[in-house]
Amino acid sequence: MMNVLQSYRIVLLLCVLGFCCGHIQAETWVSERKIVTVYSLNKAYKAVSVPHSAILEARWGKTHVYDTHTSKLLYSIPECLTEGYLFISNDGTTVAHILDQEYGSDTSKYITHSVNIYRNGKVFKHISVKELTHCDTCDNNLLFNAIKDFTLLQDGKYQPVLIPNTSPRDSFLTYNPIFLFQDTVFIYTSTRRLIELSLLSGQFKDTVFETFTMQQLSEFPPVARSYVTFKCSKTYPKLRDNDSYYAVEEALEEAFNMKADMLENGNRDKYKYYRVYAILSIDRTGHANIIELSNQDSLPDTQLRDAILSFNYVIPENIPDEIGYWYHEFYAFMRNSNKRIAEKERRLEKEKEHKAYLARLTADSINGVYIPRNIEDCFHQLDMLLSPQDLRTIKNYENSNEMIKLHFGLGLWIRNNWGLWCGSRLQKYCLQRGLQHPDDMSGTILRYYWEYLHSIHDSWRAFDAYQQ
For residue range 273-299, what is the model confidence (pLDDT) as tens digits?
Answer: 899 999 999 999 999 999 999 987 778
276 within a domain of the structure (yes/no): yes
φ/ψ of 50, rounded to 5, equals -125, 125
- Rounded to whole angstroms, the Cα distance separating 94 from 97 reads 10
Q: For the chain, how many structural domains are there in total?
A: 3
Check whether residue 319 and residue 454 sit in a common domain: no
Check whether residue 316 and residue 375 sit in a common domain: no
Check whether residue 218 and residue 279 sit in a common domain: no
Check whether residue 392 and residue 403 sit in a common domain: yes
Check whether residue 457 and residue 317 sit in a common domain: no
Residue 7's Cα: distance from chain center in Å?
11
- Rounded to whole angstroms, the Cα distance separating 177 from 175 reads 6
Angle between helix 388-395 and helix 438-453 axes, rounded to 10 deg: 90
Residue 161: which of 141, 214, 171 has the closest Cα?
Answer: 171
Edge-to-edge, what's the strand order for the sheet holding 122-127? 85-88, 94-98, 115-119, 122-127
Geometric angle at alpha carbon 4, from 449 and 96, rounded to 5°: 150
φ/ψ of 197, rounded to 5, equals -115, 120
6 within a domain of the structure (yes/no): no
Q: Which residues pair with 432 in a beta bridge?
A: none
Check whether residue 172 and residue 271 sit in a common domain: no
185 within a domain of the structure (yes/no): yes
| Structure confidence at residue 468 (pLDDT) | 73
8 within a domain of the structure (yes/no): no
Check whether residue 167 and residue 33 sit in a common domain: yes
The model's pTM:
0.73
| Structure confidence at residue 398 (pLDDT) | 92
Low-confidence ranges of the chain (pLDDT < 70): 1-30, 104-108, 136-140, 262-266
Q: Of 328, 358, 388, which closes a domain? A: 358
Question: Which domain, by its residues, includes 439?
Answer: 361-465
| Structure confidence at residue 423 (pLDDT) | 96
Q: Of 341, 358, 375, which closes a domain? A: 358
